[in-house]
Amino acid sequence: MTKISTPMDMAHGPLMKNIFIFCIPLMFSYLLQIAFNAADTIVVGKFSGQQALAAVGATGSIVSLLVALFNGLSVGANILIAMQIGKKEHKQISDSVHTAYFMAIAGGLLLSIVGFFCSAPVLKLMNTPPDIIALSTLYMRIYFIGSIPLLIYDFGSSILRARGDTAGPTVILVISGVLNVILNLVFVIGFNMSVAGVATATVISEVLSAVLITLSLMRQTDSTRLYLNKIKPVPEFFSSILQIGVPAGLQGMMWCISNVVIQSSINSFGSIAVAGNSATQNIENFVYIGMQAFSQGCTTFTSQCRGAREWTRIKKIMYIFCILNVVVSFIVGGASWLFGPKLLSLYTNDADVIISGMLRMWFVVFWLWINALLDIPASSLRGMGFSTTPVVAMLLGIVGVRLFYIGTIWQSFKTLENLYLIFPVSWGITTIAMFFLWHICYRKAHYLHSSEAY
């Protein structure tokens, strides 16, 4: 007899227990994802040299920019389905699942085309050093060939997270990630394929993860079950996912745009600075493990509580996640800075690259706890249905401040230290604004709920 699975009830019951049940597998999932990405960088840096390392690193902000909108749409699917689970709207859940899968396939096709043809022009626009631009272009073009399986996994895991399942996507990531590491070693060391080998290994592992996440959803026994013959856009839910997801995607894109501008400025210092920045960013990503998990958890828990109209619990959720996020990011960020030289030596044997990387380690990685504090009210706002509010705050506080800083202060003092200082400054300003907006929106939502108009 098949055991019927039921989604986690995040709107009732023990809060801290459910938070850890949800977030710990999610942290492990992000840890694996980042570890496997780091393996890419380590393999290419150790066995293909500093130029190959810089070539892969120079693509990071562009890849994130192009993928950001579609990641936002997967967040929109997660919020919509979690809210429907809170309301126990089973027919709507099924329609949303199949609409989300259609969006993953269509979006992946579009991203493949745009990413492939825009790679070279964008890299040139960003002042990518001439000695690495050919390798960077090759890496990006191969990477974007795998956009459809990439988005299928992202949307599929968002659906599972909406029902409280973070363990399933983690197991899938372990399997595909191990394959990625093995193929990295085979292609880069065995076949001497350099950045092409790393990109090819990534695409193959993404195909495997897409197949496994699809099979997992096809085996569900509740309303989140996937039927391949039902994959199509239901206009009502297609529109809802866009309304929630596009602002989230735009927020991510604006964040990435500011990083693209910063990356362009880093590129002006040459390939050693680019390589040092790339290696440190890989270490920095480990600090984001807790931040991503707690932010995703805050959005999903808030969405279910919104569907169940548990507004007092939403406020409690926000403050708990704030504390957890700051504490974890401070500990991991501080440890990363303290052991920075040893960690950077895993990526490169070049002493100059390590020295350059340590600049970002102090000015950015150590202060990531400010960013952690910023992420939670933004995630809570999205879960409550205020999708555009975080976008406005990020546009003014992150993009606006960074572009103003680069156009004025940095022009007078063109050093890497001064450039990296822009990160904690913009985080601090935006965090203050975001908390102010959260309290206004929370009171508004609570009032509307009490008057039955929300």
pLDDT in tens, 205-232: 999 999 999 999 999 988 899 999 999 9
Number of structural domains in the chain = 1
Residue 6 lies in a domain: no
Looking at residue 447, its pLDDT comes to: 66
Looking at residue 448, its pLDDT comes to: 62
Residue 366 lies in a domain: yes
Range of 43's domain?
15-450
Give the amino acid at 295.
S
Contacts of 155 (CB under 8 A, 6+ apart): 73, 74, 77, 100, 101, 103, 104
Residue 3 lies in a domain: no
Looking at residue 78, its pLDDT comes to: 86
**42 to 198, 332, 357: CA distances (angstroms):** 10, 20, 14
Looking at residue 5, its pLDDT comes to: 57
193: helix, strand or coil: coil
Residue 10 lies in a domain: no
Residue 244 lies in a domain: yes
Q: Output the six-digit token pair for 330.
A: 């401070």
Please tell me the distance from the alpha carbon of residue 415 to that of residue 417, in angstroms, as a whole number.
Answer: 5
Residue 2 lies in a domain: no
Q: Output the six-digit token pair for 445.
A: 């939502």
Asked if residues 287 and 329 have their Cβ atoms less than 8 Å apart, the reply is yes
Please tell me the distance from the alpha carbon of residue 364 to that of residue 285, in angstroms, as a whole number.
Answer: 11
Residue 188 lies in a domain: yes
**288 to 16, 29, 47, 283: CA distances (angstroms):** 21, 12, 27, 9
Please tell me the distance from the alpha carbon of residue 253 to that of residue 249, in angstroms, as a whole number.
Answer: 6
- Within 10 angstroms of residue 359's Cβ, the number of other Cβ atoms is 18
Half-sphere exposure of 321 (CA within 13 A, CB side): 32
The pair phi, psi for residue 356, each rounded to 5°, is -65, -40
Q: Which residues of 55-64 are buried (b: 16+ CB within 10 A; e: fewer)?
A: bbbbbbbbbb
Contacts of 172 (CB under 8 A, 6+ apart): 153, 157, 209, 212, 213, 216
Residue 79 lies in a domain: yes
Q: What is the DSSP letter of 209?
A: H
Looking at residue 192, its pLDDT comes to: 84
* pLDDT < 70: residue spans in the chain: 1-8, 49-50, 57, 60-61, 446-454
Give the amino acid at 252.
G
Asked if residues 281 and 94 have their Cβ atoms less than 8 Å apart, the reply is no
Looking at residue 188, its pLDDT comes to: 84
Give the amino acid at 95.
D
Looking at residue 6, its pLDDT comes to: 65
